[in-house]
Chains A and B, each alone.
Chain A
């Protein structure tokens, strides 16, 4: 996907700050985008990117490309990386979404679930040695006072 914004680099923790900064830039350059839409989109992007940082192999040496487009009806992004394929736990899927951990006091396992509920579309594909996460949030109408 070619987008309005592109970021390339290694999937290391420091790159997450670059993603935060990029989304801040999007907010400043697209004032018409609802703050809630961008906030939830940013939440999902950081979860997916954090997942790649944590689980991407070879660890610390996975190159990624992030493309983001601001469209009239949606925010869309694709995060692609050249790491190994992910072994996703499909059992955690329900109705096309990842479920929250059953244990309220679990200390991990919420990332994909949180990204799922923040987005309208979350899709993972492995094609030609490249992992691609597609993230879409439909822009909500602003309620007029």
Chain B
């Protein structure tokens, strides 16, 4: 059963992250992000409010989604990240390109 949900509204989409974004969930997220951009919604907010853990394969899926979104004229932003996710983003310096916002609403403004 999929734990990754997508809500689209025109060019914008909100993708809900899985509880643990590790190597079992990362390929599915990668596919969902690619499909979302391919269907015309390259402005993506990944809602990580329900994601307690991310590993390097999960980061890879997010970076892949970011590149795909930017190539289509959009961007990918993170919302509601947990302590573990924020720590991992900082340790890898990826917070500079995968911008975390407090809420989905904050992340959805001013594309």
A and B associate: yes
Chain B positions within 8 Å of A106 at CB level: 63
* Bound-state Cα–Cα, A17 to B93, Å: 26
The answer on a CB contact under 8 Å between A111 and B56 is yes
Partner pick for A105 among B56, B88, B97, CB 8 A cutoff: B97
Q: Which bracket fits the contact residues of B?
A: 20 to 34
**Secondary structure dominating the interface of A:** helix
Closest CB-CB distance, A98 to chain B, in whole Å?
11
B108 at the interface (CB under 8 A from A): no
Pair count A-B, CB < 8 A: 71
Residues in B neighbouring A54, C-beta threshold 8 A = 23
- Chain B interfacial positions (CB closer than 8 Å to A): 20, 22-24, 53, 55-57, 59-61, 63-64, 66-67, 83-84, 87-88, 91-94, 96-97
* A53-B97 contact, Cβ under 8 Å, with A43-B88, A108-B56: no
Q: Please, how many angstroms separate the alpha-carbon atoms of A46 and B22 in the complex? A: 8
CB within 8 Å of B: which of A33-59?
35-36, 39-40, 42-43, 46-47, 50, 53-54
Checking B60, B96, B97 against A108 with a beta-carbon cut-off of 8 angstroms, the contacting residue is: B60
- Distance in angstroms between the alpha carbons of A111 and B67 in the assembled complex: 20
Q: Contact between A47 and B20 (Cβ–Cβ < 8 Å)?
A: no
Pair A39/B83 contact, Cβ less than 8 Å: yes
B66 proximity list for chain A (CB < 8 A): 105
A20 interfacial contact with B, CB 8 Å: yes
A13 located at the interface, meaning its Cβ lies under 8 Å from any Cβ of chain B in the complex: yes
In the complex, which residue of chain B has the Cβ closest to the Cβ of A111?
A: B56
The contact of A100 among B67, B92, B97, by CB within 8 Å, is: B92
A107 and B63 in contact (CB under 8 A), knowing A16-B22, A50-B22?
Answer: yes
A118 interface contact, C-beta 8 A: yes
Q: Answer yes or no: A95 CB below 8 A from chain B CBs.
A: no
